Amino acid sequence: MPKSSKSQTPSTVLQKYIDDYQTNPFALSKALNVAYQTVTHIIQGKARISVQMALRLAKHFGNSPKYWLDIQSASEIDELSANKKFVAEIKKISKADKSAGKAKKETKAKAKKGPKGKKGKKPAKAAGAKKTRGRKAKKK
């Protein structure tokens, strides 16, 4: 069975399987219960291998869906890595800093604490204030 490498695309790998198993796109489409165009579009590089297709191919050829999805994702990564505009855009993204997140949480925790560091302390009610039990007090 063919092995995945960086230079392989889903189309070349699928074509290799078709050749190795001495079948053709039409017979494969019937075996997978998909439209003929679905298989030919993958072979032509016009369509990607979906999760559903990976499951079908894995069942038919006796390997794993992950194998087919790994080929697809590696191919997409290689394609995007060759795109200079995309690479330039990615270079502008800064790396996440875990310590910055901790500092924000500590600042929020300090802000929640009341006077003298007592967390969750509610202010005392004014003397003579009536309890309303959720209702507004009526004015006389």
Q: Residue 61 is part of a domain; what is its CATH number?
A: 1.10.260.40
The answer as to whether 91 is a domain residue is: no
Question: Residue 38's domain spans which residues?
Answer: 10-79
The answer as to whether 46 is a domain residue is: yes
The answer as to whether 33 is a domain residue is: yes
The closest alpha carbon to 68, from 43, 39, 45, 48, belongs to: 48
The closest alpha carbon to 77, from 105, 48, 103, belongs to: 48
The answer as to whether 26 is a domain residue is: yes
Residue 67: pLDDT above 70? yes
Count of domains for the chain: 1
The answer as to whether 133 is a domain residue is: no
Q: How far is residue 86's CA from residue 5's CA, in Å, rounded to a whole number? A: 23
The answer as to whether 100 is a domain residue is: no
Instruction: Look over the chain and give the mean of its residue pLDDT values, rounded to a whole number.
Output: 84
The model's confidence at residue 99, banded by pLDDT at 50, 70 and 90, is: confident
Write down the pTM of the prediction: 0.65
